[in-house]
Amino acid sequence: MTSTYAVRAFLDDRHLRVAEEIEEFAATEIAPLQPPGSDDESRVQAREILARLGAGGWCRYAVPAEEDAGAAVDLRACCLIRETLAAASPLADSVFALQCLGSVPIAIGGSDEQRRRWLSGVADGSLMAAFAMTEPEAGSDVAGMRTLAVPADDGFELTGRKWFITNAGIADFYTLFAVTGTRPDGRPEISCFVVPAEAKGLRFVRAQVLSAPHPLGELELDGCRVPADALVGEPGDGYSLAFGTLDRLRATVAAAACGMARRALAESLAHARKREQFGEPLASFQMTQQKLARMAIDLDAARLLTYRAAFEADRGTERVTRESSMAKAFATEAAQRIVDDAVQIHGGAGVLAASPVDLLYRSVRALRIYEGATEIQHLVVARDLLRNS
């Protein structure tokens, strides 16, 4: 069972049941899957994982209830799901995370028709979502976005490039952001569109291969035509939709980091107990014990920050920017330390490609960058402190 002791104060009985059920599902449906050995294998397995998540009813947590237009997802449930999936398979965590990322802008800003058309498929796992915002010149600096959307006939024509897009080439639709004009302050007016994968003029350019196999890639929009009803919300709503989504879901990135850290600690405890050196188990050495203690302390602190942020969001706190940024910054950095210690405890076995901690080592690093790098989170926290303290 998922350890909920440290964060039980932030969970109700329903969330405790979610924790038990996702742990059982992950153990039987996800953990037995062999980690993909290549980018191509990750693309095939991602679709298989989505089908399993859909059949198990887990994708429904990626969208709010059908009748709750503009509502947020159950963030504590999403955190519990991501934590447990990340411990079993970083790829499975990514699949679930993108179902959330691709659908939340539609949930909070889309029309009734858009919600009916796209969110039901996300919820049952029949549609794979993607979130297409990053560009070669626009990562953390969204104002550097160059993809344009101009009115054309009864819709829009999109031209530009997107890269570092998870599920590029395998998604069924892309929640995509483009410049539609210039704001009075001179900054670009950014709007949000739902672009079906089969849209004419949308092309998967290439895979971008990570150290841990992951379906990442680059997209090109060459006069890509979409109808007027592809626009989510109003022109210029893209910035608020994008950052509203990231703000809501940032705590779930922290939860994924906690999951990877939890798996690293569990693997380290098991290895330290059974591995002998100089006639003694590793667990008997004080330096090993120090590492294990430091890992456990970091993990509990990370989980407390994570579920505090999710709890505040779920109870309707107007802004949880500081809490979610604190959680992401601390949890992802702590997870990096924990996984690194796990590799050190395993010694040479820890850097074998078949080792679980080696996969965690290759997977955890990206969490400190995507959806707002640690340095950005520090700036967000500091500015909030200066403004509101």
C-alpha–C-alpha distance, residues 170 and 17, integer Å: 32
Backbone angles phi, psi at 388, to 5 degrees: -120, 5
DSSP state letter for 174: E
Residue 327 neighbours by CB under 8 Å, 6+ apart = 250, 251, 254, 302, 305, 306, 308, 309
Q: Parallel, antiparallel, or unpaired for β 173-182 and 188-196?
A: antiparallel
Q: How far is CA 301 from the centre of its chain?
A: 20
H helical segments located in the chain: 13-25, 39-55, 75-88, 90-109, 112-114, 120-124, 238-274, 286-314, 321-346, 356-364, 374-388
Instruction: Give CA separation, 243 vs 64, 77, 105, 240, 293, in Å.
Output: 18, 21, 9, 5, 36
Cα atoms found within 13 Å of the Cα of residue 353, Cβ hemisphere only = 8
Residue of 178, 312, 321, 136 lying closest to 246 (CA atoms): 321
Residue 325 neighbours by CB under 8 Å, 6+ apart = 250, 372, 377, 380, 381, 384
Catalogue the active-site residues. Answer: 371
Contact 86, 27 (CB under 8 A): no
Q: Find the helix or strand (DSSP H, E) in which 204 lies.
A: strand 202-207
